Amino acid sequence: FRLVGLLAKQLQPAEARNALDFGLSRLELGMDTSDGDGPWRASLLLQTSMDAAVAGYVWAALAAPEAQYRWEAAHVVRGLCKLGCDECVDQLMTWISTKPPTQFSDEGLFHYVLHARQWLLMGIARAAVDHPISIARFFDLLKSVALEGEPHVLIRELAARTAVSISSILPNVDKGVISSLNAVNKPIINPN
């Protein structure tokens, strides 16, 4: 790979295109039409922006069965917040409560959507510590996930802690809402 990196700098655009075409044609020799999602079809095309495409790749890594990839993807989320990549982060956050795209995972494999939500919230929670302003716009979404979302203990806890964390920089947050967020996953003690 180092040799390719050195040689690529010496190639003219037409030579680079020819080299890429040669390499891809060699790769295609070992591929079968049943590999991955099979031949190209229109349903594999993502009809949105580059930010949505980047978010899709991050989302796929957040749902990976291997913890190492989820951990790295959570750090990417934190980095996106730090760098002000708002469109990409906005796209990721919409998939907390809506159906994510299918173009970024193999149709033959199970997509661990709860992993993706949990690890996305881990990255967002960490960003809330360092850059709370970058995620303040998600307060209502985080509140909804924590108080009304699916009964997943870690997802609700991460959403609640993050919402409480960023509430300090928001004006006019109802104290009752903060109390409800602080009560997420806490036992209810009956006075009788």
Give 112-144 pLDDT, tens digit per residue: 889 999 999 999 999 999 999 999 999 999 999
pTM of the full structure: 0.77
**Region 94-123 average pLDDT:** 82
**Region 165-170 average pLDDT:** 91
- Distances, alpha carbon 42 to alpha carbons 37, 45, 47, in Å: 12, 5, 10
Single out the residue of 183, 98, 84 nearest to residue 135, CA to CA: 84
Task: Check: CB of residue 46 under 8 Å from CB of residue 53.
Answer: yes
